[in-house]
Each structure stands twice: as C-alpha cells, then as structure tokens.
C-alpha cells in the first residue's frame, strides 16, 4: 500500500503545485482506509452453510471462532402478521407449548409491553443435565421499514443457580421479522449458545438440526390459536 502511494507521488511531480500532490495523497489514503474497513467488516460476518431444508424451513449453521458449538440460522415465510408473531414471542408462559424441550418458562419482570425478563429450564435426555437461563427479551421496530427485531440475550442474576442444573450464561438469539404482505412475514432467526459443561456430540447435533425444525413446525401451529389472532403492534420500542 505504501509503495502504491509513493508511485503516485512520483507520477505527480509534473503537477504545478505541491497542494495538488498533497490532495492526491489524501485521496489515496482515504480510499485505502475504506478498503481496509470493508475487508475487516466482511471477515467478521458469519459464513452460513445450508444444513436442512424442509417444509419451507431453511436451517443454516456457521462456525463461531473460539466456540465448539456452531451458530444456527433459520429462515422461513409465515402466513401471519408481525403483531401476531411478536405477541407469541412475548407470551413467555406459552413457550413450553412450542419451543423444543422447554420444561418451564416463567416471567420474572415485565418492563413494558415490548421488554421483559424470563427464566427458562431446558429438559435434556439422560445422561445430560438440564440447562437453565435468564433472558432479557426486547422488541424494537424500524419506523421506516416496519421490520421488527426481537432480541433475547442471556443475562446474569435474577434467579440463583440451582443445584443439579447447569446455568447457561453465554447465549444470544435474535428474530428479524420483515412484513412481505398483508398477512405474511419473512422470518430470520439466529442463535448461538454455549451450553456449558460437557454434552455428547449426538445431543448437540440433534439440537442443531432437529430442534429448529421442530420449533418452527410448532410455531406455525401456535400462531393459529385465537389468543394471537387479533394482536395489535402498538407498543413496540423504536
């Protein structure tokens, strides 16, 4: 990059003023910085590999640096409204009805209609130990695009660590809900979780492939319930 700058300076000796040379150097440095920044951003993005595609549900996995567990992304189209889907996601008491292997889910604190904290325990088959976590759930809407993002990172505190259950401290999930029609949305769900402790590879693989598929199958059924049919998106954060 430095050699390139020097080459342009040498070619610029025919210019009438030193100011022109300085201006050229500044432009080269600026373009170089933009290139470095773009390369840095691209290298930090996940590279997703399609793992499963069934019933209009696409499941991708991606390697995460310094983690033994892959990130998961799910994409699909749903015949529902943004308001109905957000209402379901914020209805934590109904979570065991549709989220894979969820044993219990308890609302801890309702900050607003679009923000809450909840505790959940995940039931794992023997010989694995159950996991639990506390999630801070928030829903925000882009006022221009009407795209709603529901973020749910795991947070410490609120519930003491329980004997015989492994506490998950490192987990981050996100729903991006894009309206595509009067009663149709495109959903992109991503999650990466460090389950802590030791888990057999067959169990990790089961949750990475079968889990998301079962969740979205159940999600479609859950959305048909009358409790969500007349939902209105009125108090989502901006």
Other Cβ atoms closer than 10 A to 107: 14
Q: Report yes or no on whether pTM surpasses 0.85.
A: no
Q: Which residues contact 228 (CB under 8 A, 6 or more apart)?
A: 80, 84, 87, 88, 91, 222
Examine the pLDDT at 145 and tell me if it is beyond 50: yes
| Coil vs helix vs strand at 19 | helix
161-197 pLDDT, tens digit each: 999 999 999 999 999 999 999 899 999 999 998 888 7
Is residue 136 classed exposed, middle or buried when 0-12, 13-18 and 19+ CB atoms within 10 A define those classes? middle
Contact in structure between 191 and 161 (CB atoms under 8 Å): no
Other Cβ atoms closer than 10 A to 165: 16
15-35 pLDDT, tens digit each: 455 555 445 434 433 333 333
Greater model confidence, 155 or 42: 155
Q: What is the arithmetic mean of pLDDT over 83-98?
A: 96
Please, what is the average pLDDT of the chain?
82
Which pLDDT score, from 0 to 100, does residue 38 have? 35
Sign (positive/negative) of CA torsion 42, 70, 73, 94? negative
Q: Give the integer Cα–Cα distance in Å for 134 and 154.
A: 5
Which pLDDT score, from 0 to 100, does residue 230 have? 82
Examine the pLDDT at 6 and tell me if it is beyond 50: no
CA-nearest of 194, 140, 147, 189 to 166 is 194
């Amino acid at each position: 990059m430095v050699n390139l700058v020097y080459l342009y300076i040498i070619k610029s000796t025919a210019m009438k003023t030193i100011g022109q040379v300085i201006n050229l150097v500044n432009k080269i440095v600026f373009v170089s910085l933009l290139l470095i920044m773009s390369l840095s951003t691209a290298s930090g993005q996940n590279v997703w590999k399609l793992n499963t595609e069934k019933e209009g549900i696409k499941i991708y996995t991606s390697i995460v640096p310094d983690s033994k567990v892959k990130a998961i992304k799910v994409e699909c189209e749903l015949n529902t409204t943004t308001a109905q889907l957000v209402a379901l996601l914020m209805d934590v008491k109904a979570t065991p009805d549709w989220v894979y292997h969820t044993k219990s889910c308890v609302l801890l604190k309702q900050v607003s209609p679009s923000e809450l904290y909840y505790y959940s325990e995940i039931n794992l088959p023997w010989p694995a130990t159950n996991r639990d976590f506390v999630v801070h759930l928030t829903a925000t809407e882009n006022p221009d695009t009407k795209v709603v993002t529901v973020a749910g990172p795991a947070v410490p505190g609120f519930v003491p660590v329980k004997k015989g259950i492994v506490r998950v401290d490192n987990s981050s999930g996100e729903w991006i809900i894009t309206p595509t029609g009067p009663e149709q949305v495109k959903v992109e769900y991503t999650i990466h979780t460090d389950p802590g402790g030791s888990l057999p590879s067959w169990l990790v693989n089961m949750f990475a492939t079968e889990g998301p598929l079962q969740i979205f199958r159940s999600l479609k059924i859950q959305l048909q319930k009358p409790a969500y049919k007349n939902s209105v998106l009125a108090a989502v954060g901006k």
